[in-house]
Chain A
Amino acid sequence: MLYREAGQFKSTYAADMAIFPIRQDRMALWLLLAVAFLGVPLLAHFRIWPLGSDYFLRAILIPFLILSLATVGLNILMGYCGQISLGSGAFMAIGAYSTYKFATGVHLPLAWFGTAISIDPLPVLPSILLGGVMSAVVGILFGIPSLRIKGLYLAVATLAAQFFFDWVFIRVKWFTNYTPSGSVAAPEITIFGYVFHTPIERYLLCLAFVAVFAVISKNLVRGNLGRQWMAIRDMDIAAELMGIRPLYAKLTAFAISSFIVGIAGALFAFVYLGAWEPLAFNIDRSFQLLFMVIIGGLGSILGSFLGAAFILILPILLDQGPHALGIPVTVETVSLMVLVVTGALICYLLVVEPLGFARLWSVAKEKLRLWPYPY
């Protein structure tokens, strides 16, 4: 009744091609953005439920936004270009450590040439972007094998990147500025002289990044490049015969995906953790992102957000559930229960809807259009 597009006429091709051709969708989006940009900070500022304490903002919303961003990045590679990657944790780590290096100053002695590359400490914003660029460069490098290796073989091969960079960041002291333990602490986040200190400020910073990259991604996948990726995904040989260069299409997907994932990694390290070690970006992180993509829905930007929310929040909810309800069980039982229930729910979701939440969402929209008079 409310969600019906009858009477909305398009008079230009541009209007017909809009990202959200239906007015209600546009309104919902603006509403969502208003809540995210204004509502949440206001609630948090005046400490109104559910933002009465920092917890919701700092421990749920911030990691949710950051991991959504990473999921969007991985979804470009997996959902749109069809290349399975189990190395996304490594690309987050590359983003995080490169950003750290740029933000604290790079000094790379090149003994063979008798010279050294020195860059003074950069402000945080360019550091993060450069961190993304470094991640993209490595992404291209590790994307090259995808021209020859396909499917699950490629997935396992990307684990090489995961384990290699786990090792690099723990072993090469240069990346950690020679701290004795190899754990690094992020410098203060200052952008244009403004220090991002309170949770609300940090939340808005993440939100801004996520919003910008979500818009860019959404537009990319609708454009020429996105169509090339999807052609490669659906059948790479056919795409090649149609004149799409697999080299270009696959490597751009790897580059852009790694760029976004790298930026998410930098945010995760700088904004969420504050101090980190390579273990924070280990294989479990890669699997977590993989789940977010699959459960959310391959090839859907919206699905990335839904998947991230589900995979991040479900264990936290389950973990707190028994305690909140006053059921006396030990922490051990609860955390094992969380594992079992999460695993079972994932299986269940895959069985009932292998295409993920994005598909459920579009089914729901279809039904809503007919409601309350389905035919």
Chain B
Amino acid sequence: MIRKLLVLAAVAAGTTAIAGPALAQNEQFIPLLVYRTGPYAPNGIPFADGVSDYLNLLNERDGGINGVKLTSEECETGYATDKGVECYERLKGNGPTGASYFSPLSTGITFALTEKAPGDKIPLLTLGYGRSESRDGTVFPWNFIAVGSYWTAADIAIQQIAKEMGGFDKLKGKKVSLVYHDSPYGKEPIPALEARAKKDGFEFKAIAVTHPGVEQKSQWLAIRQDRPDYVLLWGWGVMNSTAIKEAAAVGYPRDKMIGVWWSGAEPDVTPAGDQSIGYKALMLQHPPGKFKVHEDLEKYLVSKGKSIAKDDFAQVLYNRGLINSMLGTEAIRTAQTKFGNKPLTGEQIRWGFENLNLTADRIKELGFEGMLKPMKFTCQDHQGADQARIQQWDGKAWKTISEYFTADESILAPMVKEQAAKYAAEKKITPRDCSKES
């Protein structure tokens, strides 16, 4: 027995003793926190595929960014916070200049890394998730909650409801319920919805679903009895499809359900089959489907068997992964204009994010036309955009059914400010003075 254990130990020691591979110098390292297993894998996989494919595309097509090759490494978090922290510690020092930025795709991991990133000077790119108040770049210098927060999502969902009802004045006295994943992720929109409810005079009710959301009968029976006019869905993973099935079972009309953009992808609706027809969801600006960038992806990766995507190619979450990588690499490119075409540190890339200006021309050049509107990040505004559209599932594909809505900043901006100030006070942070930054 002891001998066997010794052998085991020796093997284990052997694996650790082999140090990391020799580091090439002209490389920019991008760590990838992914979850391809566990309860949220069906949603984690397409996103991770998109993220990785875009980085590979840049390497295959352009040889990296201005001659700097991109390297990356995936680390499986399983959506668990402590695994995420371990992955972060493991990957943050890789490459000649350390990690460029982290995108954990988990609200919980984002919260934990928000505490660690300032010490290590690594930006966090959280595309449409994470702390809503981290939009305030003076208090959260390292967080980039790009394209939208849950508060903008909540606000836009209400605007869609108002449009369907024929005006904000029609909202008075109506009932809107939120079915949410009982975690920081699901709870984020509640303050924004409460603020909206107060302003527009509708009755708001929040209904919690315990992680991972496989059992929702009582929630939907309560909805059947309460008969809200609209149901907002803030779920992730198996919770979404289960919610749609239960809604169908209690006869709640699916076209009165609006999901957040994390509840509006193919794995959320296909398991429920025809019961999903009519279900609506917010779009994080972009639809699924092929755009110009996909032609390049097909030419340089898919046709050569280098794409890791399978059925998920050009799906909602895959495309969102592409955007995630596009924003990150564009930030690196922007930073290179100031610091030179060489591998950059996280701090330099943060400058890139804060000066990232995606014009319509640039978006077209990158092949993302039709997926994104122009957006601009600044030292104060780490969100860049606050617009979204609505899509509807017709049984086979998502159809965009609305124009762009813009979130009502008269409600949200003070909330961002208040929560950011509270965070700053609690953590004893002195907000930066953006007028002094170059």
Contacts and interface: CB of A to CB of B under 8 A. Distances in A.
A and B found bound together: yes
A332 B1 contact: no
Contacts of A282: 211
Interface string B406-430: 0000000000000100110011100
Given A180-B191, A276-B108, 20 more contacts: A54-B89, A55-B89, A59-B89, A171-B208, A181-B111, A183-B111, A197-B119, A276-B111, A276-B112, A277-B111, A277-B184, A280-B81, A280-B108, A314-B12, A321-B15, A324-B20, A339-B37, A360-B2, A364-B2, A367-B2
Given A183-B111, A183-B184, A273-B85, A332 B2 contact: no
Nearest to B190: A180
A234 interface: no
Nearest to B76: A335
B86 interface: yes
B246 interface: no
A185 B115 contact: yes
Given A275-B114, A331-B74, A182 B187 contact: yes
Contacts of B187: 170, 180-182
Contact of A324 (B2, B18, B112, B191): B18
Interface in B359-398: none
Interface in A278-319: 279-280, 282, 284, 314, 316-317, 319
B248 interface: no
A317 B112 contact: no
A63 B1 contact: no
Contact of A284 (B34, B80, B184): B80
Nearest to B133: A180
Contacts of B184: 181-183, 277
B93 interface: yes
Given A284-B80, A331-B76, A183 B16 contact: no
Contact of A320 (B15, B36, B115): B15
A45 interface: no
Given A180-B419, A276-B111, A317-B15, A59 B2 contact: no
B114 A58 contact: no
B36 A55 contact: no
A319 B116 CA distance: 23
A252 to B, nearest CB: 31
Contacts of A280: 81-82, 108
Contacts of A63: 82, 86
Task: Indicate the size class of the contact surface on chain B.
Answer: 35 or more
Interface residues of A, number: 55
B78 interface: yes
Contacts of B305: none
Contact of B108 (A279, A324, A339): A279
B15 A316 contact: no
Given A59-B90, A274-B116, A277-B81, A180 B132 contact: yes
A220 interface: no
A374 to B, nearest CB: 13
Contacts of A182: 183-184, 187
A272 B85 contact: yes
A183 B108 contact: yes
Contacts of B111: 181, 183, 185, 275-277
A336 interface: yes
Given A275-B114, A335-B76, A185 B34 contact: no
Contacts of A171: 208
B15 A275 contact: no
Contacts, number: 136
Interface majority SS (helix, strand, loop, mixed), chain B:
helix
B34 A331 contact: yes
Given A180-B187, A273-B112, A170 B182 contact: yes
A324 B37 contact: no
A185 B426 contact: yes
Contacts of A167: 210
By CB atoms of chain B within 10 A, which of A58, A171, A272, A331 has the most?
A331
Contacts of B24: none
Interface of A: 50, 53-55, 58-59, 63, 104, 167, 170-171, 177, 179-183, 185-188, 197, 272-277, 279-280, 282, 284, 314, 316-317, 319-321, 323-326, 330-332, 334-336, 339, 352-353, 360, 363-364, 367
Contact of B427 (A59, A185, A339): A185
B1 A360 contact: yes
Interface in B86-114: 86, 89-90, 93, 107-108, 111-112, 114
27 contacts: A55-B90, A59-B90, A63-B86, A177-B426, A180-B191, A181-B111, A181-B185, A197-B119, A273-B81, A273-B115, A274-B112, A274-B115, A274-B116, A277-B108, A277-B111, A277-B183, A279-B81, A279-B183, A280-B81, A317-B12, A325-B15, A325-B18, A331-B34, A331-B76, A332-B76, A352-B1, A353-B1
A45 B211 CA distance: 42
Nearest to A184: B111
A335 B116 contact: no
Nearest to B48: A331
B73 interface: yes
B23 interface: no
B10 interface: no
A335 B37 contact: yes
Contacts of B76: 319, 331-332, 334-335
B21 interface: yes
A79 to B, nearest CB: 21
A326 B22 CA distance: 12
B13 to A, nearest CB: 9
B115 A331 contact: no
A59 B91 CA distance: 11
B344 to A, nearest CB: 19
B131 interface: yes
Nearest to B308: A330
Contacts of A177: 426
B128 to A, nearest CB: 15
Interface in B1-47: 1-2, 4-5, 12, 15-16, 18-21, 34, 36-37, 45
B293 interface: no
Nearest to B86: A59
Given A182-B187, A316-B86, A353-B1, A54 B81 contact: no
A303 B119 CA distance: 35
Q: Which 10 pairs of residues, A with B, have the shortest CB-CB distance?
A: A274-B115, A59-B89, A181-B184, A332-B36, A335-B76, A183-B184, A331-B74, A275-B111, A321-B15, A183-B111
Contacts of B422: 179
Contacts of B53: none
Nearest to A170: B182
Contacts of A181: 107, 111, 131, 184-185, 187-188
Contacts of B221: none
B75 interface: yes
A141 to B, nearest CB: 23
A317 B16 contact: yes
B139 to A, nearest CB: 12
Given A104-B426, A280-B108, A275 B115 contact: yes
A279 B182 CA distance: 10
Nearest to A367: B2
Interface string B322-344: 00000000000000000000000
